[in-house]
Amino acid sequence: MKFLTFKKDIGSQIGLVFGDDFVLDISQAGSVVPSARILPHTLRELLELGEDGLNAARGCLEEAEGAEEKLKEAGALLPIGGLSLLPPVLDPKLILSVGLNYWKHLEEMAGTPVPKHPAAFIKTRDSLLGSGLPIHAPSQCPDMIDYEGEFCLVMGKLCHNVSADEAMDYVAGYTIANDVSARNWVHEVFSAEGTFPAIHAWERNINGKQLPGFTPCGPLMVTKDEISDPQTLQMETRLNGEIMQSTKTDDMIFKLPELIAYFSQWYRFNPGDIITTGSPAGVGFGRDPKVFMKPGDIVEVEVEGIGVLTNSIA
């Protein structure tokens, strides 16, 4: 199944992708598909129901088969192209963003050494942005805005201190993010001398990833049963149509089960929480000459089996 969240006149609503071109608005489908009446209106609330929630959504889709005309009359079957999309999970309790997790990305970032353990930082919920919406260049640091396309995990149940062998059992599905970064403070990290100056420089650098709209996410969430092996997916980031990042998820240093198991030693993941799993080589800062996004640009992140996350720069 594929879920998305879209704007309505008042608030937002999750929808189920129906066929190739339509979305089932479950808030309007109840008169035709009675099972839609029991479904929550946010993806996080649905995921909190566990397998029961996913099975109820699956049953709703099955019930909708063959009732397309009635659903259209009820205003419950909407063209995807006409929707204003929001992040699939609007209100995750945690966004954990993994860094330094692709072999070739380390090479381009001034020969950064291979980490002994996975590294990550937290991003704010306010940084989330839907596909199709503009990323606003902040007035305080508008000149070094970089893209980082990332494959993401969406957690499906409470997960704490689990093993790598069982880790993927806690995943509900997959989505895409762009870990947009203001690179104005990166040079401080590489030039820092001594432990504490390096720590403080890294903290300032991470602040450049927290700005409003700096975590575009979407366009949808695909349930994990739709993708047989998430560790072999093709990823691509394009800037104004030019391919900037292109790799497969098998280039990760720390694989998906290892990431979940490692961070679950400390974090308690809840349904709807998002783990971005790192960005591959090709970021603008790692290029010679460096490439940064500017107003008018279009950035796209595509992951095989999920879709294309698209945003303009304003």
Residue ranges per structural domain of the chain: 2-86, 95-312
What does the pLDDT read at residue 110?
66
- Integer distance in angstroms from the first to the last C-alpha of the chain? 33
247: left (phi over 0), alpha (psi -120 to 50) or beta: beta
Neighbours of 281 (CB within 10 A): 19
Lookup: tokens for 162: 């689990």
The three-state DSSP-derived secondary structure of 179-239 is CCEEHHHHHHHHHCCCHHHHHHHHHHHHHCCCCCCCEEEEEEEEEHHHCCCHHHCEEEEEE
Written as tens digits, the pLDDT of the chain (314 aa) is 999 999 998 899 999 999 989 999 999 999 999 999 999 999 999 999 999 999 999 999 999 999 999 999 999 999 999 999 999 999 999 999 999 999 888 777 766 788 899 999 999 999 999 999 999 999 999 999 999 999 999 999 999 999 999 999 999 999 999 999 999 988 787 788 888 988 888 888 899 999 999 999 999 999 999 999 999 999 999 999 999 999 999 999 999 999 999 999 999 999 999 999 999 999 999 999 999 999 999 999 999 999 999 999 99
- CATH number, domain 95-312: 3.90.850.10
What does the pLDDT read at residue 173?
99
What does the pLDDT read at residue 304?
98
What does the pLDDT read at residue 191?
80
What does the pLDDT read at residue 111?
64
Q: Do residues 112 and 289 touch, judged by C-beta distance below 8 A?
A: no
Element (H, E) at 244: strand 242-248
Q: Do residues 259 and 37 touch, judged by C-beta distance below 8 A?
A: no
- Which residue blocks in the chain are alpha helix, DSSP H? 43-48, 51-64, 68-73, 103-108, 164-167, 186-191, 195-207, 256-263
Rg, Å, the chain Cα set:
20
pTM of the model: 0.96
Sign of CA dihedral 259, 43, 129, 287: positive
